[in-house]
Amino acid sequence: MKKERSSRPKRKRTSHIPAGVPTLSKKDFESDQDTRWCPGCGDYSILAQTQRIMPELGVPREDIVFISGIGCSSRFPYYMNTYGFHTIHGRAPTIASGVKMANPDLSVWVITGDGDALSIGGNHFIHLMRRNFDLNVLLFNNRIYGLTKGQYSPTSEQGKQTYSTPLGSLEAPFNPISLALASGATFVARSLDRDPDHLRMIIKSAFEHKGTSFIEIYQNCNIFNDGTFFQYTEKDTKADNTVFLEHGEPLVFGTERNKGIRLNGFQPEVVETSNGDYTTDDLIVHDQYTEDTTLANFLAGMSDTPDMPHPIGIFRSVRHPCYEDAMTNQIRSAKDRMGEGDIEALLNAGETWTVS
Amino acid sequence: MRKPVEQIEEATILFAGDSGDGSQTIGTQMTETTALIGNDVATLPDYPAEIRAPAGSLAGVSGFQLHFSSEQIHTPGDLCDVLVAMNPAALKVHLHKLKPNGILIVNIDNFARRSLRLAGYEDNPLEDGTLAKYQVFPVELTRLTRKALETTDLSTREIDRCKNFFALGMILWLYNRPMEYTMKWVKTKFARRPQYIEANILALRAGNVYCEATEQFAVSYDVKPASFEPGTYRNIEGNMATVLGLIAASHQSGLPLVYGSYPITPASDILHGLAQYRNFGVVTMQMEDEIAAVGVAIGAAFSGSLGVTGSSGPGLALKSEAINLAMIAELPLVVCNIQRAGPSTGMPTKTEQSDLLQMFYGRNGESPIPIIAPSRPFDCFETIYEACRIAVKYRTPVIFLSDLYIGMGAEPWRIPKLSELPEIKADFAGREYAHGNGFEPYQRDPETLARPWAKPGTPGLEHRIGGLEKSDITGHVSYDAENHQRMVEIRAEKVARIANEIPPTEVFGAQEGDLLLLGWGGTYGAIRTAVEHSVEDGLSIAHVHLRHLNPFPNDLADILNRFKKVLIPELNSGQLLQLIRSTYFIDVIGLNKVEGQPFHVFELQAKIDAIFKELGHF
């Protein structure tokens, strides 16, 4: 696989590792299990970037838990030398919620796919987003069911011909970013399996975000849906078909970086900044920290609009209270108000009588 | 002059009215008072699924039956001594439960032509001789309540809602019970609305005084306290006992309790109950669906908490895949099933025992899971505690199989001392489990076959588990043929070994002989009462009630073989019966009923008589 570098400016990284903690390497996060994805699968890259970024997060291995559902991507926890739980189809969000609630100190990562998260687990996905546990969700979107050998998924384009839809699929696809935003997600981002630097940067930003972080990763299934995202990931076409989101920066893209996104009424449109009609001042300036979701929704919708570049990067990053903190607060204030639970008193509560 | 008081041994009262009439409230109050003065009590709430069915309709009738005695009793009673009917529909639905010559109190203010028609009465039953065989006490309950409350500022609508307390005042007089406990309750209940305190107490007093003053009621009754084992008692509903048992298990084990649930009748009260106890560190999570509810419990168990989920039959159907995950991952998980009448949505507010085979077999693959069932409301405490103990000790999901009749029924409970509760040892794997080959998550305790409970956060024990078959000892994913065979056998053997610590089975009545009644769950009371009567009649008969349904107690085979006939009464079409037949290769007789109602003692009695007749005893 060719190495691709995006044209974005590099971000300054800060180390999270406190002094005195032994430094870990990528190797420390590799389990002793053979990785069993098809050769050439995009999952390899995502695994490698995750293993590479983990040492930089400064979290001891024993405090990290990877939880997955079912599907190709969901094999992921077996390859991470951390705690891991390969659960059942679509239900990883529920198990991850229990893990995080029972021990809020853990760093919890949900690994899922387009079928797992959006079809069989759709209900859990939206509720996970709105509860805002402090955990991270990596959705490997390859727009196909791989493990079951190639049926269309909820992100497959309408009319997709697969084994189960020889005459074409009938329904319109989900947009995972729009769905996450509509469900109240506090951190929503998109990255690419074939852009390792960007992917690591996004994974790290997700980790740093306090609250549920959702990352959609365009991932290539080279067996059943090869090239589905190539126009966004490959060298020749990437620059003209993607726009990288940078907070505070105008939405500029293109090989010559002479194209941008402007709002025309309620409609984002592509304009050229080199022919004198528009300047970068006319372009949308990205604000990932705004509470209002209007901009993020505009950006999310671009990938549903033909001939628009797909935004890559962080759509939204806002701070809301986390479920587990709110629960912990309820417990603390109940103890303040009523005193630490006294089990003898509880059993003997209410009207009692004694027989001697 | 005080009216005469007649001593009686026991009484059964049924309060019935529209679902908004407050029958459940006054039934509960009468129960509390009666328990507090020392009677043994058993109750049966019977209410419609609709929160407010059309007023006056048969579908909207809500009833509360209460049986109390100076002797030990086990059931809410077959037939009633008193029926309080707040409207014609309540009369129509429940009259057949009133004993001949029983006391019938009716609110005649509700017997207008329209109400009669709604209840399907062509003529007024108060006038046409329908009620000739009962002692009928027509009372202008609505008018009298309005009169008693005329000095209050409440609207007529609000005043009318107090008439249940007028009726309660009457019943308290009729059975010589004090009003103070109810008054105390009213004061707490309406602490923020003092006008309702005054109104309800006025209504209560008015009902009481009415009985004392009118010539209608010439005699009242008294039921002396029953003799109980020494101890401190309280009245408790099954679901509340379940709540307390869970908190006790959490406390005694030191494991924080995480309860995941989704609202469903009749299990919601467990969620409501636990949600009150945040100061015990109790986490309750109302999730988006039944699957998520069990999912959080499994996640919490993996993280080292006491993970518990609760539901009823339809919810259990949805949870089955996740329960199976906990089974193969060998994590402690407690699953409460408060059964109701099925199949499908069935009859949500009616009782049944028809989920037993679902709990045994309702999962894909070979999936043995321990099942234990409480027999009475107070028994929920000990049984759920035992479910937690087994789950933690053997690292397995355990099903606590209660039912609506037990969950919503109430009776006196001797409050246990903490020192009486068995130990629950969490026993987490520590660093010492890490060695040269790394941590081996499927290394087992040689006695229980339990695998180590290694919670995230423990250095050196990083490991991966999941629903794919795992290699013995190492826990790596394995498709190896022999390994799968071995793992299936190990998981079965682990559950089977629980039988080694089941205490000897109690055989009530004859230790061997003609007939054994074998029961489980909420049929305890009816079976025990019927067997007690038969023992008094000199029959060679016994009662065994199973708490452990999977595995069965080791001594059960021997017990079954000591009797000529075995009768299994169940509120299903014969589910334990199938299990007993296939496990022990013996023929057994079934007595099966699926009406959404508990057994009447007389139904069991008739079957027992028929069997003894066949045996040539009569």
Instruction: List chain A residues with CB under 8 Å of B299.
Output: 67, 85, 94-102
Q: Is B300 in contact with A343 (Cβ distance < 8 A)?
A: no
Please name the residue of chain B whose CA is at the shortest distance from the CA of residue A337: B279
Q: Is A91 in contact with B231 (Cβ distance < 8 A)?
A: no
Of residues A21 and B270, the one with the higher pLDDT is B270
Q: How far is B225 from chain A (nearest CA, A)?
A: 10
Q: What is the C-alpha to C-alpha distance for residues A223 and A230, in angstroms, rounded to an integer?
A: 14
Residue A317 has pLDDT above 60, yes or no: yes
**Which pair of tokens denotes residue B445?**
């305790």
The answer to whether position B228 is within a domain reads no
Give exposure, A264-292, as e/b (b: 16+ Cβ within 10 Å). Answer: eeeebebbebeeeeeeeeebbebebeeee
Does residue B399 share a domain with residue B481? no
- The CB density around residue A125, as the number of other CB atoms within 10 Å, is 28
Instruction: List chain B residues with CB under 8 Å of A334.
Output: 278-279
Long-range contacts of B190-197 (CB under 8 A, 24+ apart): B195/B152, B195/B153, B195/B154, B196/B158
- Residue in B228, B297, B477 nearest the CB of A98: B297
Does residue B135 share a domain with residue B214? yes
Does residue B591 share a domain with residue B574? yes
Q: What is the C-alpha to C-alpha distance for residues B61 and B78, in angstroms, rounded to an integer?
A: 19
pLDDT at residue A16, rounded to an integer: 57
User: What is the pLDDT confidence band of residue A12, given thresholds at 50, 70 and 90?
Assistant: very low
pLDDT at residue B438, rounded to an integer: 83
The answer to whether position A296 is within a domain reads no
DSSP-derived pairing of the beta strands B464-466 and A83-86: parallel
The answer to whether position A73 is within a domain reads yes
Instruction: List chain A residues with CB under 8 Å of B291.
Output: 91, 94, 124
Please name the residue of chain B whose CA is at the shortest distance from the CA of residue A108: B456
> What is the layout of strands, in order, in the sheet containing B333-339?
B283-286, B257-261, B306-311, B333-339, B397-403, B371-372, B548-550
Pick among B177, B262, B296, B385 to test the A interface (most A CBs inside 10 A) = B296
Q: What is the C-alpha to C-alpha distance for residues B566 and B577, in angstroms, rounded to an integer?
A: 10
Q: Is B247 in contact with A62 (Cβ distance < 8 A)?
A: no
pLDDT (mean) for A272-299: 96
For chain B, give percent helix, strand, coil, nearest 5: 40, 25, 35
Does residue B516 share a domain with residue B461? no
Please name the residue of chain B whose CA is at the shortest distance from the CA of residue A332: B279
pLDDT at residue B360, rounded to an integer: 98
Contacts with B, A 30-69, CB within 8 Å: 31-33, 60-65, 67
Q: Would an 8 Å CB–CB cutoff place A347 in contact with chain B?
A: yes
Give CA separation, A303 vs A15, A282, A299, A311, A312, in Å. Answer: 34, 21, 8, 7, 10
Pick among B288, B289, B319, B327 to test the A interface (most A CBs inside 10 A) = B288
Residue A70 has pLDDT above 70, yes or no: yes
Instruction: List chain B residues with CB under 8 Å of A31.
Output: 464
Per-residue pLDDT reduced to its tens digit, A152-182: 999 999 999 999 999 999 999 999 999 999 9
Instruction: List chain B residues with CB under 8 Å of A97.
Output: 285, 292, 295-296, 299
For chain A, give percent helix, strand, coil, nearest 5: 35, 20, 45
Q: Is A356 in contact with B230 (Cβ distance < 8 A)?
A: yes
pLDDT at residue B49, rounded to an integer: 74
Instruction: List chain A residues with CB under 8 Å of B476.
Output: 33
pLDDT at residue B51, rounded to an integer: 73
Does residue B256 share a domain with residue B190? no
Per-residue pLDDT reduced to its tens digit, A110-156: 999 999 999 999 999 999 999 999 999 999 999 999 999 999 999 99
Where a domain ends, among B372, B391, B420? B420
CATH of the domain at B205: 3.40.920.10
Instruction: List chain B residues with CB under 8 Å of A351.
Output: 32, 36, 181, 234-235
Where a domain ends, among B484, B501, B518? B501
Contacts of A91 (CB under 8 A, 6+ apart): A69, A121, A124, B291, B292, B295, B322
Does residue B200 share a domain with residue B81? yes
pLDDT at residue A18, rounded to an integer: 59
Which of the residues in chain B have pLDDT under 70?
1
Does residue B247 share a domain with residue B219? no
Q: How far is B428 from chain A (nearest CA, A)?
A: 15
> Which domain does A31 fall in, by range?
26-233+321-328
Does residue B197 share a domain with residue B98? yes
User: Judging by beta carbons within 10 Å of its beta carbon (0-12, 13-18, 19+), is residue B174 exposed, middle or buried?
Assistant: buried
Q: Is B299 in contact with A94 (Cβ distance < 8 A)?
A: yes
Domain tally, chain A: 1
Percent of chain A residues topping a pLDDT of 70: 94
The answer to whether position A6 is within a domain reads no
Q: Is A88 in contact with B416 (Cβ distance < 8 A)?
A: no
Instruction: List chain B residues with CB under 8 Å of A329.
Output: none
* The CA-based dihedral angle spanning residues B580, B584, B585, B591, taken in that order and rounded to the nearest 10 degrees: -20
pLDDT at residue B53, rounded to an integer: 77
The answer to whether position A53 is within a domain reads yes
Task: Write the ipTM.
Answer: 0.94
Contacts with B, A 80-99, CB within 8 Å: 80-88, 91, 93-99
Does residue B77 share a domain with residue B101? yes
The answer to whether position B229 is within a domain reads no
Q: Is B329 in contact with A101 (Cβ distance < 8 A)?
A: no
Instruction: List chain A residues with CB under 8 Å of B279.
Output: 331, 334-335, 337-341
CATH of the domain at B265: 3.40.50.970
pLDDT at residue B436, rounded to an integer: 76
Q: What is the C-alpha to C-alpha distance for residues B454 and B331, in angstroms, rounded to an integer?
A: 10
Residue A3 has pLDDT above 70, yes or no: no
Does residue B523 share a domain with residue B494? no
Q: What is the mean pLDDT of chain A?
A: 94
Contact present, B569 and B349 (Cβ < 8 Å)? no
Q: How many CB pairs under 8 A join A and B?
A: 213
**Which pair of tokens denotes residue B556?**
């059960």
Please name the residue of chain A whose CA is at the shortest distance from the CA of residue B182: A351
Does residue B373 share a domain with residue B257? yes
Q: What is the C-alpha to C-alpha distance for residues B543 and A338, in angstroms, rounded to an integer?
A: 45
Q: Would an 8 Å CB–CB cutoff place A182 in contact with chain B?
A: no
The answer to whether position B127 is within a domain reads yes
The answer to whether position A307 is within a domain reads no
Q: Is B229 in contact with A355 (Cβ distance < 8 A)?
A: yes
Where a domain ends, among B466, B486, B501? B501
The answer to whether position A299 is within a domain reads no
Q: Is A99 in contact with B329 (Cβ distance < 8 A)?
A: no
The answer to whether position B446 is within a domain reads yes
Task: Give the orientation angle of helix A122-131 with respect to helix B290-302, to 10 degrees.
Answer: 60
Sign of CA dihedral A246, A250, A252, A256: negative
> Which domain does B121 fall in, by range?
5-223
Does residue B388 share a domain with residue B243? yes
Q: Is A337 in contact with B279 (Cβ distance < 8 A)?
A: yes
DSSP-derived pairing of the beta strands A259-264 and A252-253: antiparallel
User: What is the pLDDT confidence band of residue A8, given thresholds at 50, 70 and 90?
Assistant: very low
Per-residue pLDDT reduced to its tens digit, B407-460: 999 999 999 999 999 999 999 999 999 987 789 999 999 999 999 999 999 999
Domain tally, chain B: 4
CATH of the domain at A56: 3.40.50.970
Q: Is A350 in contact with B234 (Cβ distance < 8 A)?
A: yes
pLDDT at residue B1, rounded to an integer: 59
Q: Is B235 in contact with A339 (Cβ distance < 8 A)?
A: no
Q: How far is B248 from chain A (nearest CA, A)?
A: 7
